[in-house]
Structure 1
């Protein structure tokens, strides 16, 4: 058991005592000599709903040399996340179709006793004899094989949705539902867009759109691309998809969520669409807040991604869109690759960086410290905003507090996780908002190291993560132990 004295509630500022009775020994892991029992001085530590990330790639099945469900979930938990949405660009793709033995990556799925990627991921714990420290939902492909030629058939995946035939499902199928449609990594092609939207409308899902399409280019078009001698990607490649899908949302009423928005012109189009009342939401990522294309000269392909890092002016516009509420949430787009792959040069290196383990610190450094937003708003962007999109109910800490003072609490109210009515809903993160630390990718729990943020000194760190009231990750230091 751990008792944390004088914890601050994220949205009220109230000082409370937090009692964590259950360290989940099946899932618990930590950093170094992390504390997982005793009484702790938690002054300066904030308790908040666990972070949720609506945009991660865990490469399982098919590319587990980059990341597995185990390493990806551990990376998420160590970053303060309690829930993630897994994108469908697995190998084979997560399209609901039965896997053919000839498909790349098929052996992992078929050898598990299941014949679809959805079933494989829903039953991952049982298949692998493990217990993952993060909850997760699944995103199904918009097109078969994620090839962009033919829309997926809802008959292949509609049963896996939340709320459908719950009495006929096992516990794992209920816990890891299909909640969205996407061809992430690619925008949905115009030729099948209407059918994909019709599928979303019929099944009650929303479309997650990779709002970027280009046939050539590797970095943002401009002075940096010319200096590097690398083909550029114009900024309107993003706006073209955003404008097209805003019109589609207007026409159909389908909720469209735009991923990793990165340009001023796209934010302005989204701002107008929201003012019109259209069912539009959007996210951006820490790298578009913290970096611009000029940083390619420093970080090379570690900063190559899709959409590409844009201009300094676009970076400023991204921060402004967060400050004025145009951006609904921050997602990491956690995209693991090997360092050998990232060393292939701008034309051949894969797009993407990892981000789960340093997102909070990077965002706090860039957004909160300069005064663009406050700590409460950052938690909304990383926890309650994504939870709303994903259809989850974030932990309501205020409603869980004991009104009766207890011995040792010095007048503070107590959140005793053994006494709350529904402890299984208590997904929480403990944050040291002012802790300064240096990002060291070699200490990440992810298998991957592809981040430009290595060596950055950032402000704000997740100290512990609780899933269903159970401690599943800790880096609570021994220096805080009272007794």
Structure 2
């Protein structure tokens, strides 16, 4: 049992004592000499709902040399995340289609564990691999078969796996890891199937997560930096075209569309106007778009190559403004692991993306809170409560869990072994003032592809709690 004395509740400011029962040994891990038993003076620390990320790539099955469910889940817990949404660009794709071709990359991983679809494989990952992952996760199904953009997936192939459908027929793993969204992330939904996909969204009751950017050529943002590098550029309106197209579709259909990793001032303006109109539009941005401009390419090279690309300094400032004025609903990492060997191929051939789960809070806190743009409370909303709600989950209500029994020295106590619904206690302990240096070599992710290595940041998750049990600690 671990007791944290004098910890502050994130939204009320109340100082309480937190009692965490014995750890879940099967899924617990820690940094160095972190404690998991005894008492800790938690004065100055903050207790908040666990972070949630509706935009991660764990590369399992098919590309486990980059990341696996095990290493991705460890990275999430280390970063304070209790819930993530797995994007569908697995190999084979997460489209509900039966896996039959054993020669396809990743097929043997699925079939070898006795499953015939990626959905079943991922839902039963714990039992099939005899592991206990230290993070909750939902699944996002492909908008198109094979995520190829040519033919919409069949609702019949994956409808059964949605939360609320045939719940009496499902096992525990299927209930715990439902399909909650549709996307072809990595690519925008193509025009030829967009109407079919929106029809499926409407019929299923899910929402569309849209990769709001499309280009056929170019590798970095079009502008002075691309010309200095001698690399083909990507115009900023490649994002706006998808945003504007889908806003019109939301207006026509009433379907909820969530825009991923928005990066340009012109897109934020369009989204701002759509929201003012009352359209069912939400959006996210990522830590790299608020912390870096395309000038970072000159310093970090392909470690700063992503899609959408890092934009101009004016766009970076517009991103911060959109966060501050509420246009941005939440922050997501777009955690995208690659090997350093892949990243060394040069701007034209290196894959897009960076990892982000383990330093997202520190980077965002440094730029947004230390920069005076938002409060600590608002950052927690952007990383915890708002993404949880988008994913259809209720964030932990700490005040509702508090019990005056056992309170000492005038403080109330939250004893997680005695709460009425311990399964709802998904929490993170934060040191909002911690100053630390990002060291990718100490990451729990299998990957190291980040431009933030060596950055001095502030704010750090110290412990992650799922279902009232400690799953990660650096206390």
The bucket for the TM-score relative to the shorter chain is over 0.9
Displacement of 1:254 in angstroms is 0.6
Matches of 2:409 and 2:371 in 1, distance apart?
35
2:407 counterpart of 1:403:
no
Displacement of 1:405 in angstroms is 4.9
What aligned pairs does 1:238-277 form with structure 2 within 5 A after superposition? 238-277=239-278
Please say if residues 263 and 310 of structure 1, whose CA atoms lie closer than 8 Å, have aligned partners that are also in contact: yes
What aligned pairs does 1:110-259 form with structure 2 within 5 A after superposition? 110-259=111-260
What is the aligned length? Answer: 474
Alpha-carbon displacement from aligned partner over 1:129-154 (angstroms, at most 9, x marks no partner): 00000000000000000000000000
Match of 2:344 in 1: 343
Aligned residue for 1:317, secondary structure, equals: helix
Please say if residues 283 and 328 of structure 1, whose CA atoms lie closer than 8 Å, have aligned partners that are also in contact: yes
Please say if residues 143 and 152 of structure 1, whose CA atoms lie closer than 8 Å, have aligned partners that are also in contact: yes
Aligned residue for 1:23, secondary structure, equals: coil
Match of 1:88 in 2: 88
Alpha-carbon displacement from aligned partner over 1:14-38 (angstroms, at most 9, x marks no partner): 1000000121111110100111100
TM-score (norm 1): 0.98
Matches of 2:99 and 2:453 in 1, distance apart?
38
Alpha-carbon displacement from aligned partner over 1:374-400 (angstroms, at most 9, x marks no partner): 000000000000011000001000011
What aligned pairs does 1:33-112 form with structure 2 within 5 A after superposition? 33-100=33-100, 101-112=102-113
Match of 2:12 in 1: 12
Matches of 2:22 and 2:166 in 1, distance apart?
33
Please say if residues 405 and 411 of structure 1, whose CA atoms lie closer than 8 Å, have aligned partners that are also in contact: no
Matches of 2:391 and 2:417 in 1, distance apart?
27
Match of 2:456 in 1: 457
Unaligned 5+ residue runs, structure 2?
none
Unaligned 5+ residue runs, structure 1?
477-483
Alpha-carbon displacement from aligned partner over 1:336-378 (angstroms, at most 9, x marks no partner): 0000000000000000000000000000000000110000000
Matches of 1:337 and 1:266 in 2, distance apart?
28
Aligned residue for 2:114, secondary structure, equals: coil
Please say if residues 22 and 469 of structure 1, whose CA atoms lie closer than 8 Å, have aligned partners that are also in contact: no
RMSD in angstroms over aligned alpha carbons? 0.6
TM-score (norm 2): 0.99
Match of 2:292 in 1: 291
Name segments (4+ residues, structure 1) moved above 6 Å: none
Matches of 1:22 and 1:219 in 2, distance apart?
49
What aligned pairs does 1:290-309 form with structure 2 within 5 A after superposition? 290-309=291-310
Matches of 2:19 and 2:409 in 1, distance apart?
15
Alpha-carbon displacement from aligned partner over 1:43-82 (angstroms, at most 9, x marks no partner): 1110000000000000000000000000000000000000
Matches of 1:36 and 1:88 in 2, distance apart?
35
Match of 1:425 in 2: 424
Match of 1:369 in 2: 370
Displacement of 1:404 in angstroms is 3.5
What aligned pairs does 1:427-446 form with structure 2 within 5 A after superposition? 427-446=426-445
Displacement of 1:265 in angstroms is 0.2
